[in-house]
Structure 1
Amino acid sequence: MRGLKRLRSAQVIGSGHAFVQNIRRGHYEISADAEPDPRLSAAFTELTLAV
């Protein structure tokens, strides 16, 4: 077991996975107007412009 040696690591991975799944399903306004297939890349493009 090399990656998830601490509980915090598992929490971060789990939160990131849930975030990406919610973006892909269109639950956030940032990607709601995009087509289903390129929704994830459109959301991350919007996020990079915001940050």
Structure 2
Amino acid sequence: MTTDRAAAYPRVLDEQLPAAHHIDERYANNPIEADHGRWKARLRPMRGLKRLRSAHVIGAGHAFVQNIRRGHYELGTDAEPHRRLTAAFTELALAI
């Protein structure tokens, strides 16, 4: 479990997940924070999500796009990494 250095985490993690390895080293959570930066940027103008259905749709879409970018699907894999998302959506449009 990677967290920041908040004092509450060690006690709570010991109670809830005793087998978990707690990592609180400096900068260890940067990749995690960077991963959901686009999500936060999308939600900020919307002032949050009002309905559970909205959270589900936005979350699923965000996860799908992130997985395409990382090459987890066989969509746009022949394209250069910075063009993978465009290529994947072009392939999806042709398939539909």
For 2:47 and 2:82, the matched residues in 1 are separated by 33
TM (normalized to structure 2)? 0.49
Report the number of matched residues: 51
Partner of 1:26: 71
CA RMSD of superposed structures (Å): 1.6
Q: Which has the higher contact order (CA 8 A, sep 6+)?
A: 1
**Between 30-39 and 17-26, the greater mean CA deviation after superposition:** 30-39
- The CA deviation string for residues 1-51 of structure 1, in whole angstroms up to 9 with x for no partner, is 756211010010000000000001111101222210100000000011011
For the pair 1:43 / 2:80, whether they are aligned, the reply is no
- Percent of paired sites with the same residue: 80
**Which structure has the larger Rg over C-alpha atoms?**
2
TM (normalized to structure 1)? 0.87
Secondary structure in 2 matching 1:15:
helix
For 1:46 and 1:14, the matched residues in 2 are separated by 22
Query: As a proportion of its length, which structure holds more helix?
Result: 1
Unaligned stretches of 5+ residues in structure 2:
1-45
Task: Flag as ranges the 4+ runs of structure 1 deviating above 4 A.
Answer: none
Letter in 1 for 2:82: D
